[in-house]
Amino acid sequence: MNLVLTCPFWLESIAKKEIELLWLPIIHSQDKQITTEYSEKNLAKLNLWSRVGNKVYIELARKDKIDSFDKLFDFVKSIKWSDFILEENPIIVNATSHYSKLESIPDIQKIWKKAIVESIKSWFLREDDKYPSIFVEIVLLKDTCQILIDTTGEALHKRWYRKQSLEAPLRENLAAWLVLLSSWRFRENFYDIFCWSWTIVIEAALIAKNIAPWINRTFAFEKFKFIDKEIIKQEREIAKSKILNKSYSIFWSDIDPEAIKIASNNAEIAWVWDIIKFELRDYEDFLETPIAWTLVSNPPYGIRLKDENLEEIYKNLAIIFSKNKELKWWVITNFQFWDLLKINYKKRKLYNWQELCYLYLKSSNN
């Protein structure tokens, strides 16, 4: 068995670094997933500490050349399912297939159910609230088949501190990725001048204080019969002992009082309200106020400000960047403002939820 951490496309390199920082080996890497070594301790650590991941799975088995339903049936049946599920556990199976000969999702699911009934004669499909559901993923990619068990439950990007949100929020794991990608040095100033993307500064504060992003929730695996429940308790206590109580210069501003209120409430829930400086302030103030070090932001781009002059916002943003030579900046938006930037920059495509965006960052040649 192995562990598989899934993540959005483009975030794999940071996901690999997360795994390596936990002193876990990289066994396999492909688009949207990283495979590492299984142990109950590793399972708990990865769920607690991954900032950019979506879910953690146990990979029960992987096999190449699964190009017929007979081979799929034999492969699924070969797994000793009784080691992982009780007869009473409802099992929910999801299947995906890309570039494989087996394309019909309903047929893949039907074969899986037939195989597991053969494997556990007394097991049958049921819905019973008394017993936790086990979510199984069958992933076919170029005729390679993976059988995965979801250990996370609700996706990791849905952080525990998001009690309130505004329209079109930035995904938490994408915000964490931006902060980690910026290589912000904690002794230096950190800015977000559009508070609507309040997720960025909360994630920055969690990283600076070394707070595990999922220190305050339960996971699906805590109800599995084959997992020692003491492991997650021990790892939570270890995570709490690693929290740093230091001061940082994190500046957060927006012109919307409601955004400031919601942001500060969520920061308090996240245990980081004391290290973020909240300001009711227009971004245009920074046209005259010099700033340095690191800025990471998700400016409005049409979803929030339907009637505003977005081009003017981005013209001013380009001026702020050009005037502040010591400022390192990363901006995610779907507004195409590269013609407005009169300085060297780099650009790459990515997705926030299902929306195509661009990450603009300061070139080292500036």
Is there a single domain that holds both residue 185 and residue 325? yes
Residue 331 covered by a domain: yes
Is there a single domain that holds both residue 103 and residue 223? no
Is there a single domain that holds both residue 91 and residue 231? no
pLDDT of residue 131: 66
pLDDT of residue 106: 92
31 closest CA partner among 56, 57, 5: 5
Residue 166 covered by a domain: no
Residue 286 covered by a domain: yes
pLDDT of residue 133: 80
Q: What is the CATH number of the domain that holds 14?
A: 3.30.2130.30
Is there a single domain that holds both residue 36 and residue 140? yes
> How far, rounded to the nearest angstrom, does the alpha carbon of residue 11 sit from its chain's CA centroid?
8
Residue 309 covered by a domain: yes
Instruction: Quote the CA–CA distance of 168 and 353 in Å, as a whole number.
Output: 9
Residue 159 covered by a domain: no
Q: At a CB cut-off of 8 Å and minimum separation 6, what does 318 contact?
A: 337, 340, 341, 342, 343
Q: What is the CATH number of the domain that holds 334?
A: 3.40.50.150
User: Residue 65 — left, alpha, or beta (φ > 0 → left; ψ -120 to 50 → alpha)?
Assistant: left
Instruction: Quote the CA–CA distance of 100 and 89 in Å, as a whole number.
Output: 30
Three-state secondary structure string covering 151-183: CCCCCCCCCCCCCCCCCCCCCHHHHHHHHHHHC
- Would you write out the chain's pLDDT as a tens digit for each of its 366 residues? 899 999 988 889 999 999 999 999 999 988 889 999 999 999 999 999 999 999 999 999 999 999 999 999 999 999 888 888 776 677 888 999 999 999 999 999 889 888 887 777 655 555 555 667 888 999 999 999 999 999 999 999 888 787 666 555 688 899 999 999 998 999 999 999 986 657 899 999 999 999 999 888 899 999 888 899 899 999 999 999 999 988 899 998 888 888 888 888 888 988 898 999 988 999 999 999 999 999 999 888 765 555 467 888 889 999 999 999 999 999 988 887 777 887 788 888 887 767 788 888 886 655
Neighbour order of strands in the sheet with 33-37: 26-30, 33-37, 2-6, 55-63, 144-150, 134-141, 91-98
Whether 95 and 105 have beta carbons less than 8 Å apart is answered as yes
Is there a single domain that holds both residue 130 and residue 176? no
Is there a single domain that holds both residue 26 and residue 135? yes
- Is residue 206 exposed (0-12), middle (13-18) or buried (19+ Cβ within 10 Å)? buried
Q: What is the pLDDT of residues 298-331, one digit of tens each?
A: 888 765 555 467 888 889 999 999 999 999 999 9
The pTM for the full model equals 0.89
Is there a single domain that holds both residue 186 and residue 143? no
Residue 238 covered by a domain: yes
Residue 158 covered by a domain: no
Instruction: Quote the CA–CA distance of 294 and 185 in Å, as a whole number.
Output: 9
Instruction: Quote the CA–CA distance of 75 and 61 in Å, as a whole number.
Output: 9
Is there a single domain that holds both residue 285 and residue 180? yes
Is there a single domain that holds both residue 234 and residue 188? yes
pLDDT of residue 257: 87
Is there a single domain that holds both residue 248 and residue 319? yes
Q: What is the pLDDT of residues 16-37, one digit of tens each?
A: 999 999 999 999 988 889 999 9
Is there a single domain that holds both residue 24 and residue 69? yes
Is there a single domain that holds both residue 121 and residue 222? no
Residue 67 covered by a domain: yes
pLDDT of residue 5: 97
Q: What is the DSSP letter of 201?
A: H
pLDDT of residue 121: 63
Whether 158 and 172 have beta carbons less than 8 Å apart is answered as yes
**Helix, strand, coil proportions of the chain in percent (round to 5)?**
35, 25, 40
3-state secondary structure at position 241: helix
Residue-number span of the structural domain to which 193 is assigned: 172-210+218-362
Domain count, the chain: 2
